[in-house]
Amino acid sequence: MGRSKTTHTVILRFLHEVDGDIACDPTTISAMPTQVTEVTEHLPTTADLVVIGGGILGVATALNASRRGLRVVVVERGKRLGGLTTQASAGGYRLQFDTPEEIALLKESIAFWDAFPDQVGDATADLRRTVNGYLWVTRRHDRVPTQQAQVAHQVSMGVDGVEWLNGDDARRRFPYLAEDVAGVRYRAGDGWIDPVRATVALAEGASRHGVLFAFNTAVTGFGIDNGRVTSVITDHGDIACDYAIVAAGPFTGHVLSLAGINLPISPRIRQRLVLPDAPEVPSNAPMTIDEDTGSHWRPEGGGAYVLRPDPTAPSGPPAIDPPASREFYDLLLDPDSEVAVAKHASFWRNVWARGTQHWYVTAGQYSYSPDHMPLLGPTAIPNLGVNGGYSGHGIMASPAGSRIAVATLLGLADNQTNPFRASRDFTQHASEKPTGSGGHVTGIGRGPL
Ligand SMILES: Cc1cc2nc3c(=O)[nH]c(=O)nc-3n(C[C@H](O)[C@H](O)[C@H](O)COP(=O)(O)OP(=O)(O)OC[C@H]3O[C@@H](n4cnc5c(N)ncnc54)[C@H](O)[C@@H]3O)c2cc1C
């Protein structure tokens, strides 16, 4: 079970004693010791819980479980935290959802982000949070009644601060909007965080509760006896465990299949155009989403992220380095493109006309379930859990989703009433897969953003 130093695998061990239960009581951890006391190069041979994956969901899982007093090991194939899908994301979070389950998930998660320093036990923890709002724009007058109904529906379900504005009122508030914008829905309290900073801070918080992180270590199988996982097998040895939970992003379905579990999680490539230097982009602009095309953008640094989930992108195998296309720049920025961001925000014409050599396209994979909601908690192997399938919501919903995954796996919460249980019936959602310009533009219903 030992490992050679030539593998360069490092497991950081932070010691400290945890007392008491936890969950979301921030006061219990803010006083915890934070001293790093040991660095070891040996993979532990036992754990209460092995978490597979060191993205934001894996570390949020580890933090939650360790606050319950479990000895947790996070096994990550890469050499750092958040290095796969988490770093490819736009970091957005919003309460503007249309189902009570998702609204509850996001309310709890946003409350966690609100109390982040206390939650991770570090008064200096900085999410780089920006609360500029989320703005959904349509230029189609026939879509206005749907927007208005959606806002009324969300308000009736307890989404506070969401409002609908006609085109003129919207342009007064957001002067960059095009003359033909017919209506917007907006919530000022939504925004975005830096997902990698969040992941690292969550991991530091978990470390204060004794969580160990094994990098450069891939899970290759499971020991199973009598229908239960007895160990997690890695390329650096086995870890005997009471529980394991898979939070491997787009690899979640693959890793679960190593235990004979088949869940409907399909990865699809999603690209992000990064413009580090675009002074035309108002720094106080919200996440601005064109409901007619699915194209959206938000300020980032001195420029912007520009994105669009391609509704025609097929699901494919999980990828460590999903391909990104330079054509994405032209697709989103050329004002003649059908899905150009200039269609709804005129300053983008100037960005295109000015031109720049400073841009690049990155790619990650959304992990879709059939109803676009996450799969959380135990699988058909009761001590093997899942925390994945969030589509485009894995950053924003990671705190509450991870709490639910851990609580139901440990039997501390009823999995039958868990709306995100892996065993739920997906057949009724077969027709809700994204179509046309994206499921999110078809009115009340969930979609790819
Ligand atoms: C372009 C884009 C934009 C997005 N924008 C947003 C947004 O604005 N807001 C939002 O909430 N979400 C957004 N998302 C979705 C979000 O990024 C994901 O839901 C989230 O990052 C998933 O986190 P994760 O920890 O499950 O996955 P990952 O970050 O992919 O982490 C999984 C980890 O598991 C590891 N792993 C895989 N297989 C193994 C193995 N066999 N052994 C050990 N380790 C393994 C991987 O190396 C990886 O580090 C976006 C996604 C994309 C692609």
User: Domain extents for the chain?
Assistant: 5-90+196-265+370-432, 134-189+267-365
- Report how far ligand 1's centroid is from the alpha carbon of 38 (Å): 29
- Report how far ligand 1's centroid is from the alpha carbon of 113 (Å): 18
Whether 182 has a pLDDT exceeding 60, the answer reads: yes
Q: Which residues contact 175 (CB under 8 A, 6 or more apart)?
A: none
The pLDDT score that the predictor gives to residue 427 is 81
Whether 448 has a pLDDT exceeding 70, the answer reads: no
Q: CB within 6 Å of ligand 1 — which residues?
A: 52-58, 75-78, 82-86, 88-92, 218-219, 247-251, 255, 270, 272, 307, 364-366, 388, 390, 392-396
Whether 199 has a pLDDT exceeding 70, the answer reads: yes
Q: Which residue has the higher pLDDT, 235 or 40?
A: 235
Select the CATH number that applies to the domain covering 5-90+196-265+370-432 from these four: 3.30.300.180, 3.50.50.60, 3.30.1280.10, 3.40.190.80.
3.50.50.60
Angle between helices 56-67 and 195-207 (to 10 degrees): 30
* Dihedral sign for Cα atoms in the order 326, 332, 335, 336: positive
- Report how far ligand 1's centroid is from the alpha carbon of 247 (Å): 9
From the CA of 258, give the closest atom in ligand 1: 41
Q: For 404-446, write each residue's pLDDT tens digit.
A: 999 999 999 999 999 999 999 998 765 444 433 333 333 344 5
The pLDDT score that the predictor gives to residue 162 is 98
Give the Cα separation of 356 and 81 in Å (integer). Answer: 31
Q: For 341-381, write each residue's pLDDT tens digit.
A: 999 999 999 999 999 999 999 999 999 999 999 999 999 99
Identify the DSSP state of 417.
T
Give the Cα separation of 339 and 336 in Å (integer). Answer: 8
Binned at pLDDT 50, 70 and 90, residue 13 comes out as very low
Ligand 1 binding pocket mutation candidate from 57, 85, 97, 192 (most atoms within 8 A of CB): 85
The pLDDT score that the predictor gives to residue 37 is 28
3-state secondary structure of 370: coil
3-state secondary structure of 189: coil
Binned at pLDDT 50, 70 and 90, residue 447 comes out as low
- 171-193 as b/e, with b when 16 or more CB fall inside 10 Å? beebebbbeebbbbbbbebbbbb
- Report how far ligand 1's centroid is from the alpha carbon of 208 (Å): 23
Whether 402 has a pLDDT exceeding 60, the answer reads: yes
Ligand 1 binding pocket mutation candidate from 63, 86, 202 (most atoms within 8 A of CB): 86
Q: Which residues contact 44 (CB under 8 A, 6 or more apart)?
A: 11, 73, 212, 239
- Report how far ligand 1's centroid is from the alpha carbon of 390 (Å): 9
- Report how far ligand 1's centroid is from the alpha carbon of 84 (Å): 6
From the CA of 248, give the closest atom in ligand 1: 34
The pLDDT score that the predictor gives to residue 431 is 45
C-alpha 435: how far from its chain's center?
22
Mean pLDDT taken over the chain: 89
Q: For 96-136, write each residue's pLDDT tens digit.
A: 999 999 999 999 999 999 999 999 999 999 999 999 999 99
CATH class of 134-189+267-365: alpha beta
Binned at pLDDT 50, 70 and 90, residue 303 comes out as very high
Mean pLDDT of 157-173: 98
The pLDDT score that the predictor gives to residue 31 is 25
Burial classification of residue 195, based on how many CB atoms lie within 10 Å of its CB (0-12 exposed, 13-18 middle, 19 or more buried): buried
The pLDDT score that the predictor gives to residue 428 is 73
Nearest CA to ligand 1 atom 18: 394
Whether 265 has a pLDDT exceeding 90, the answer reads: yes
Asked whether the beta carbons of 189 and 135 are under 8 A apart, the reply is no
Q: For 42-57, write each residue's pLDDT tens digit.
A: 899 999 999 999 999 9
Nearest-CA neighbor of 402 among 32, 53, 40? 53
From the CA of 220, give the closest atom in ligand 1: 41
From the CA of 57, give the closest atom in ligand 1: 25
Binned at pLDDT 50, 70 and 90, residue 382 comes out as very high
Q: Which stretches of 282-432 are assigned E, i.e. beta strand?
A: 287-290, 296-300, 303-307, 360-368, 375-378, 384-388
Model pTM? 0.90
Q: For 313-341, write each residue's pLDDT tens digit.
A: 999 999 999 999 999 999 999 999 999 99
From the CA of 287, give the closest atom in ligand 1: 8
